[in-house]
Structure 1
Amino acid sequence: MTAQPNEGKPLTRDVDGATYQRIPVRTHVVMSGEDIVEVVTRYAGGLVLPGDIVFVTEKIVAISQGRAFPVDEIEPRRLATFLSKYVTKTSHGIGLGIPETMEMALRECGTPRILLAAAVAAVTKPFGRKGDFYRVAGPRARGIDGPTAHTIPPYNQQVVLIPLDSAGVARQLRQALGGEVEVAIVDVNDFGGNILGSTLTTAGEKALVGILADNPLGQGRESTPIGIVRRAS
C-alpha cells in the first residue's frame, strides 16, 4: 500500500523520539443505519498490520447510529432560541450558538442541566472564566457538531450528536479486525482532540492524541473518516 496524505497534512509525525505514519483511509459517504463494523472492516481490514492503531472519527460512528438530524427538521423551543443568543461564537465552530444545536443539547442533556450550565456561565464569564458552560453541561453538549459549509453533504446541513458507547464500538471493531490492532473512536479537529472510547490504555490514549494533534484526516471534504497509525521508526 502506498499511503497518501491529505492535502496540507504530513504523512508522518514525530512524537517523543518516535516517528509514526498516519494513513488516511478513504470511504464512501456513510449514511444513517449502516453497519459501522462492516464499513471499517471493508475499508481498513485489508490494510492493517499487527500493532497498528485504527482510529475512526466519532462523526461516522454517530451517523451510523442514526444520531444525525437535518437542521430543517429540528424545531427549537423558545428556551433554545433564547439560550443560543448568549453562546460565544468562536473559530472552533458553531457549537451551541444556533437554536437548532441548543435544542439538541436540551434533548441530550436535559433542561435542568443546561439551565444550570447557563447559570454558572453567566456568573463566571464576567470574571474572565471561559468554558464553564460546557464543563457543567458535559461531553454530550460539548460534542454536538452543527452544520458547516465545508462538511460533505448532506452533513453540511445536519446536527450530529456524539456516538453512543464509543468504548463498546471500539471493542467490536478490534475483534472484527482480528484482535491484533488497537482501535480508538476520536474527536479530532484543527483545534485539538480527545478520545471518546478505545481499546488503548490511558497512556496509549494520551500518546494517540499527540500523534493526531495536527488532524491528519482533515477538516473538510476529504472523505477519510478512518485512519491507521503505524510506527515507522
Structure 2
Amino acid sequence: MNYRNHFLTVNPEKEEFVTVDGQTFGCYGIITELVTEQTDLTAFVLQYAAPLLKPGDILLLSEKMVACAQGKARPLDSIHPGGLARFLCRYVRKTEYGIGLSMPETMQCALDECGVFRILLAAAAGAAGRLFGKKGWFYRVAGYKAAAVDGPCEFTIPPYDRCVVPAPSHPGQTARMVSKILGCTVLIIDCNDIGGRILASSHRKLNRSFFLRVLTQNPLGQSREQTPIGILRPCPQSPDLSRMREK
C-alpha cells in the first residue's frame, strides 16, 4: 500500500480488519518522522495522511502526538514536584501499560493541568471508591486532562522516554482544523492496550461509543511503532454505516 513513499501498515499483534455490529473497518497506522515542537501539524498531515486518504476514511491522531507538536512535552528534569505531588502519587497504582500518575513528576503535571482543588477532590473520591470496592472514581472527578498525562516509559521513543506529556490543548478545535484541511472525519484518540477514549471528534454527531469498540485493539500501537496517525477505512462489504452517527 505505497503512496508517494508513504504507506499504511498494520502494527504487530494487531488485526487488519475489525468488525463491530456488522460494520467492518480496515485499521491502519502510518509511519512518520518523529514529531517535535517544531512540527507544523498542518504540513505534517498534508505530507503523511493526505496522499493515503480515500472517501469515507476516518483519520486517527494520537493525542500524545498532537501535544508534542504543540510543545507540551516536559522533560523530567524541568519538572519540580512539590510535597503534595510526592504525597498523592504514593496512592496511585502503577500498571504494566504505563506509569500514569504514580510518580511525582506526572502527578505534578496533573496538578498543573487540572488545578490543586480538582485533584484533591478527585483524590477524596478515589479514597471513597476504594472503601466501596469501586475503581476509576479518581479519574471521573479529575477529568480527561489527568487521565491523559503520559509518563516516561522504557518502550517510548526517545526523547519522550524522559518526558511527561500532558493532554493537548484545544483538541476539538484541532480535530476540526485538520478535518477542514483534509476533508475527512478526524478523531483525536488516547488509547493503550487496555482501553482508551476519544478525546475529540471533528463531527459532534459521531457515535463515540461505537468507534471506541472499533479502536479496542489500539491500532496505533503502544510502543516504538512510530505510527502516531492512522486510518480507519470502511470496507466495501459493509456499506451500511448508519451506526457511525448517533441518532
1:1-233 equivalence runs, <5 A: 1=1, 3-177=8-182, 179=183, 181-232=184-235, 233=237
Tell me the secondary structure at the aligned position of residue 83 of structure 1.
helix
Q: CA deviation at 1:52?
A: 0.8
Q: CA deviation at 1:201?
A: 4.3
Residue type at the aligned position of 2:92: V
Q: TM-score, normalised by structure 1?
A: 0.94
Q: TM-score, normalised by structure 2?
A: 0.89
Identity of counterpart residues, as a percentage? 47
Tell me how far apart the structure 2 counterparts of residues 164 and 15 of structure 1 sit (CA, whole Å): 31
Tell me how far apart the structure 2 counterparts of residues 55 and 63 of structure 1 sit (CA, whole Å): 16
Residue type at the aligned position of 2:170: D
Unaligned runs of at least 5 residues, structure 1? none
Tell me how far apart the structure 1 counterparts of residues 51 and 91 of structure 2 sit (CA, whole Å): 48
Unaligned runs of at least 5 residues, structure 2? 3-7, 238-247
CA-to-partner distance for each residue in 1:155-186, whole Å, 9 max, x for gaps?
Answer: 11110000111111111111111x2x211111
Q: Is the 8 A contact 2:9 2:31 kept in 1?
A: no
Tell me the secondary structure at the aligned position of residue 77 of structure 2.
helix
Q: CA deviation at 1:221?
A: 0.4
Q: Is the 8 A contact 2:37 2:70 kept in 1?
A: yes
Moved over 6 A (4+): none
Q: CA deviation at 1:202?
A: 4.0
Tell me how far apart the structure 2 counterparts of residues 36 and 217 of structure 1 sit (CA, whole Å): 18
Q: CA deviation at 1:203?
A: 4.4
Q: CA deviation at 1:143?
A: 0.9
Tell me how far apart the structure 2 counterparts of residues 26 and 73 of structure 1 sit (CA, whole Å): 30
Tell me the secondary structure at the aligned position of residue 11 of structure 2.
coil
Q: CA deviation at 1:147?
A: 0.6
Tell me the secondary structure at the aligned position of residue 51 of structure 2.
coil
Tell me how far apart the structure 2 counterparts of residues 221 and 152 of structure 1 sit (CA, whole Å): 6
